[in-house]
Amino acid sequence: MCGIVGYAGDKKAQPILVDCLKRLEYRGYDSAGLAVVNDGVQVYKSEGEITALETGMPSMEGTVGIAHTRWATQGKPTAENAHPLQGCGGKVAVVHNGIISNFMELKESLTSEGHEFSSETDTEVFAHLVEAEYEDGDLLEAVRRALKRVDGTYAFAVVARGRDEVVAARNESPLVIGLGDGENFLASDVTALLKYTNRMVHVMDGEVVRLTKDSVSIVNAEGAPVVRAPERIAWSLEDAEKGGYPHFMLKEIFEQPAAIHDSLLGRIGTVEGDESFLDDSSFSSVKIVACGTSYNAGLVGKYIIEELAGIPATVQISSEYRYSAAARENPLVVLVTQSGETLDTIAAAREARKRGNHTVAIVNVTGSAITREVDHVIYTRAGPEIGVAATKTFVTQLIALYLLAIELGSKSRTLTAQARRSVVGQLRNLPRAVQDVLNQAETIEAIADKYRDARDMFFIGRNIHYPIAMEAALKTKEISYIHGEGYPAGELKHGPLALLSKDTPVVAIVSRDHTYEKMIGNISEVSARSSPVVAVANDDDTEIGKFADEIIYLRRIPSLFSPVPVIVALQLWAYYLAKARGCPIDKPRNIAKTVTVE
């Protein structure tokens, strides 16, 4: 997990590389470095974030270079292990995102041939391999030959002394080419390049790319030329920047009404006119597979699908699904992933296809790896999400799950035309319901502020709000570092009550539906242990004041749809807790936005 950048043009490469790198910092930020081609290959790297790299960095002349921001997997986050890495002759420099799985045996064999290693990384073996193959001066061929010995996942970018080119290769790690005028770029993600161009070409697995200032050539694994038309990316640079908010996360929380609107656009109208996400087969069950926040979206999806389509849905963590036994049934497999690059989820998609299942991906990033692994794609259209903590991608995943459930329900005839109209009406109202929550941001901040010193916090909900309690706990722990746990409210008495005290706030999602009485009972159990209760309740709930210490009132909408406004309130809750505690909200310690290792 890392971010890589490449540049070949006629401008000074150094500031462009550093600028692009900063936009990739969400991919990892424990060390960083760059290499610029001049008389030789000049490398500079350091431990820590990119701002640490800039401090003390010498001015580097040269118009071709590569750069890297790292999230350590192999070898500690030190300057030695930072990329670029070089072979012993210093002729080439390499940056890498991914993992070379056979690096131990390659390292042994290279060492026995006399190569000396200066880092603990897997990447360094590739630098030595390329250098050994580079004798004849054709860098692209050297990279292709070196790749033949490498197993694993990678996006590599390589420069060599005296060569005005960047050579890159991809296998299961994202890589995109940006086309400019008299300059060309490479990056792990389109957002890194939007300031310079919006004409992009996605590199596919097995391909090797040569980039100079005025040419881009791609060859496939067999060495045959590949011609691929560039895509014009509609995201503006402003889309990818903070837009005046102190953090990307807050900006992204506030973008949610528009994101929901975009997600629904053109997809719900008449039954005949709707976009179809499935072929004509009917499915007797659904299996949702995902990680992290996307998994929590899947858990909500289970309730939505079972309610609207009347078919059973199960949810599994991607890394578990892969090793589970195939059931006899033939479910529709739905892979949920905002990045489309999470390796566990991609592996799960492959496994599902191997099992002969029809696959659908719910994904935010256009052209990302998972889109090539599935039968159908539902784009969430949330726009770029930079904050590590997923917010608008989660909410739009829920929208995609409603849309999928509508289609499944219509196909299975569980959803009548009238019921469908009512569901569509509710979905159309969601941007407004979310805006109402955002208008209460100050109230939520004031309540959160009172609990800033908590060490532990419980989140409870029932039915469709139980996974929302889990997602709220995940948001809280990842950005505020308060230990948060999401629980079905009815389960507290089976263990967690033992942990409650006056210092353990409990956030309760209270919906005026068939779960209401039971939920009030659960809150009373909590209060009896002196724990402060913060209720997220409906605005027509006149009773809740008797049971809760603090109340965040939300406009009442049917429970099937209220996960959307409720999670927005609790995203703000997590955000303001983290802000009050002075945490690095957009870049929490030890976690990264896109996880391309298993």
Active site residue ranges: 2, 593
Residue 400 CB, shortest distance to ligand G6P, in Å, is 12
Residue 273 CB, shortest distance to ligand G6P, in Å, is 30
Q: Is 292 in the site for ligand G6P (CB under 6 A)?
A: yes
Q: Which residues of 194-220 are buried (b: 16+ CB within 10 A; e: fewer)?
A: bbbbbbbbbbbbebbbbbbbeebebbe
Of all residues in the shown chain, the one whose CB is closest to ligand G6P is 292
CB 513, CB 559: distance < 8 Å: yes
Instruction: State which of residues 339, 396, 504, 559 lies at the interface with ligand G6P (CB under 6 A).
Output: 339
Q: Is 293 in the site for ligand G6P (CB under 6 A)?
A: yes
Structural tokens at position 528: 């009896």
Instruction: State which of residues 31, 42, 342, 562 lies at the interface with ligand G6P (CB under 6 A).
Output: 342
572 vs 595, beta carbon nearer ligand G6P: 595
Q: Is 391 in the site for ligand G6P (CB under 6 A)?
A: no
Residue 252 CB, shortest distance to ligand G6P, in Å, is 12
Instruction: State which of residues 264, 388, 507, 520 lies at the interface with ligand G6P (CB under 6 A).
Output: 388
Query: Alpha-carbon distance 203 to 146, whole Å?
Result: 19
**3-state secondary structure (DSSP) of residue 580:** helix
Q: Is 591 in the site for ligand G6P (CB under 6 A)?
A: yes
139 vs 401, beta carbon nearer ligand G6P: 401
Structural tokens at position 484: 């948060």
Q: What are phi and psi of 42, to 5 degrees?
A: -95, 125
Span 491-550, contacts to ligand G6P by CB under 6 A: none
C-alpha torsion angle, residues 199, 203, 204, 205 (rounded to 10): -160
Cβ burial of 429 (10 Å; 0-12, 13-18, 19+) is middle
Return the beta strands (E) in 432-529 as ranges: 456-461, 483-488, 506-509
Residue 554 CB, shortest distance to ligand G6P, in Å, is 24
Q: Is 294 in the site for ligand G6P (CB under 6 A)?
A: yes
Residue 291 CB, shortest distance to ligand G6P, in Å, is 4
Residue 364 CB, shortest distance to ligand G6P, in Å, is 8
How far does CA 294 lie from the centroid of its chain? 9
The DSSP secondary structure of 581-592, one letter per residue, reads TT--TTS-TT--
The total number of residues shown for the chain amounts to 598
Q: Is 345 in the site for ligand G6P (CB under 6 A)?
A: yes
Tell me the torsion sign for CA atoms 544, 550, 553, 558. negative
Residue 485 CB, shortest distance to ligand G6P, in Å, is 17
226 vs 591, beta carbon nearer ligand G6P: 591
Q: Is 191 in the site for ligand G6P (CB under 6 A)?
A: no
Report how many residues bind ligand G6P under the rule CB under 6 A: 15
247 vs 593, beta carbon nearer ligand G6P: 593
Q: Which residues contact 241 (CB under 8 A, 6 or more apart)?
A: none
207 vs 478, beta carbon nearer ligand G6P: 478
Structural tokens at position 98: 């991914």
Tell me the torsion sign for CA atoms 566, 569, 574, 577. negative
Instruction: State which of residues 200, 291, 348, 533 lies at the interface with ligand G6P (CB under 6 A).
Output: 291
337 vs 410, beta carbon nearer ligand G6P: 337
Interstrand relation of 506-509 and 533-538 (parallel, antiparallel or unpaired)? parallel
Contact residues: ligand G6P, CB under 6 A: 291-294, 337-339, 342, 345, 388, 390, 591, 593-595
